[in-house]
Amino acid sequence: MKPFITPLLFSFLFFSPLLIADSDTLPLNKKTKVIKESDSAEITKQLKTGSLKEAQSTVSAEEEIGPKPFLGSISVYGTKKLNEVILKELLGKDFDEWIKKGLAGDPSSLDIEKSLIQKIQKKFNFPFAEFSIVQFFEPDNLAVHIVLDVIEKNDLASRANFYSEPTGQFTDPDLLIQSWMEYENLGMDLIESGQIAPDGTKCEALHCPFGHEHTKLKRYGPLFTEGVKKNSEKLIEILNKDKRADYRASAAFLLAYLPNGKKVVSALVDRIRDPDQVVRNNVLRVLGDISELRPEFAIPVNPLIPALNYPRSTDRSKAVFVVFSLAAHSSSAREELLRDGVPNLLLLLDTKIPDQRDLAYNTLKKVSGKDYPVSDLVSWKNWYGKLKKDKGLPAAK
């Protein structure tokens, strides 16, 4: 059980082509009773195109009764040129209308979103600007947190230092990729119907989103375990070199069935810099479970530090969970974070996104030995300023 509720991450709203390609992604107009988070690259692709089965279903009056999403916070990440007040002044009534229609499940909010981004870009011309929506599915609390994620030109190389797009194309070994996509689709159907809960069952893998206890999923357990063991090198090649992002994303999840955790970590860590956000998501999800539940398989913390400040909220949420777990289990990880990771942790401490802020806060407490309040950013920066001066550490951002 993770110590913090994992968020659903959206791109406001519906079937936006800018949808954050996170396998925790659901458009906000999807009325769902049971989905807490999904781990499916294929499901994410369906959500992008609007083809997910649930989108075509009619929500009954009974399902409409219950908690409704509400606005929890508005924030900007990645620039000092904008804040919540300036953003609202710039976008005016259209911003309020976008939020109102989005929360009501009105698809016309997509066109409004595009026009809002265009207005932002006309004034600032950021290399990257995108709205992210974070929602925590807690009982009776469907707070929605809106983040404008941006990158400034001077930060592009440091914050989006991803690999080039791969160019290869490889055969699906023993149809494992195809089988994984079938498993994901079945798992999502079972979640939608309330027959299973996401992450609710154990399995033999280092990470699996739906388990294999349900009759419809049972055959995939041995299929993946045996198939991945036989084809691990081919899957690693796909993960690193295949031009199809859905193949790479599926390979990342399949490799979690390899019993050699050390080999899994080695294969996945390098793809934290994958150019595709779904692949990065899947890699970080597997590493998150390993860091929390299987600490005997050491994960190097250094490749995760840049991900704490990646462009998208989904990257940052996954990365800070892994970092928190590593800090809880490893003194060497704490030392490395103290040396190189505090500036990015301080950025997350200053966010309005609950999981990012709280995980960053608890990580900072572990690496510093200090116990300043989570809201006392000044004390945390003063502490680090003194430490930086004494030890010549990187400056806070």
φ/ψ (deg, to 5) at 94: -60, -35
pLDDT in tens, 245-279: 999 999 999 999 999 999 999 999 999 999 999 99
Number of residues that make up the chain: 397
Which residue's structure tokens are 């908690």?
67
Going by the DSSP 8-state scheme, the letter that residue 260 receives in this structure is -
What are the domain boundaries of the chain?
A: 8-159, 173-391
Q: What tokens were used for 171?
A: 């055969």
Instruction: Compute CA distances 177 → 68, 202, 253, whole Å.
Output: 37, 22, 10
The residue ranges of the chain whose pLDDT is under 50 are 1-63
What's the alpha-carbon Rg for the chain, to the nearest Å? 21
> Of 301, 213, 209, which Cα lies nearest the Cα of 257?
209
**Taking a C-beta distance cutoff of 8 angstroms, is the pair 97, 144 a contact?**
no
Q: Which CATH architecture has domain 173-391?
A: Alpha Horseshoe (1.25)
Handedness of CA 347, 121, 19, 26 (dihedral sign): positive
Going by the DSSP 8-state scheme, the letter that residue 12 receives in this structure is S
Determine the residue type at 163.
Y
Q: Burial of 34 by CB count in 10 Å (0-12 exposed, 13-18 middle, 19+ buried)?
A: middle
What pLDDT does residue 3 have? 34
What pLDDT does residue 70 have? 87
What pLDDT does residue 28 have? 32
What pLDDT does residue 173 have? 98
What pLDDT does residue 82 have? 94
Which residue's structure tokens are 């692949």?
279
What pLDDT does residue 153 have? 96
The angle that helices 245-254 and 220-241 make with each other, rounded to 10 degrees, is 130
Rounded to whole angstroms, how far apart are CA atoms 216 and 104?
35
> Of 13, 28, 31, 10, which Cα lies nearest the Cα of 112?
13
pLDDT in tens, 325-349: 999 999 999 999 999 999 999 999 9
**Taking a C-beta distance cutoff of 8 angstroms, is the pair 112, 97 a contact?**
yes
Rounded to whole angstroms, how far apart are CA atoms 324 and 345?
10
Instruction: Compute CA distances 77 → 57, 166, 168, whole Å.
Output: 35, 29, 35
Rounded to whole angstroms, how far apart are CA atoms 107 and 14?
6
What pLDDT does residue 141 have? 72
Quick one: residue 198, left, alpha or beta (phi over 0 = left, psi -120 to 50 = alpha)?
beta
Helix ranges restricted to H, the chain: 41-49, 61-64, 84-103, 109-124, 156-159, 176-192, 215-218, 220-241, 245-254, 261-269, 277-293, 313-329, 331-336, 342-349, 354-368, 377-391
Rounded to whole angstroms, how far apart are CA atoms 36 and 25?
10
Rounded to whole angstroms, how far apart are CA atoms 115 and 3?
38
Q: Burial of 193 by CB count in 10 Å (0-12 exposed, 13-18 middle, 19+ buried)?
A: exposed
Determine the residue type at 59.
V
**Taking a C-beta distance cutoff of 8 angstroms, is the pair 10, 25 a contact?**
yes
Rounded to whole angstroms, how far apart are CA atoms 256 and 245?
18
| Predicted model pTM | 0.84
What pLDDT does residue 134 have? 87
What is the distance in angstroms between the CA of the first residue and the CA of the last residue of the chain?
33
Helix (H) or strand (E) holding 135: strand 128-135
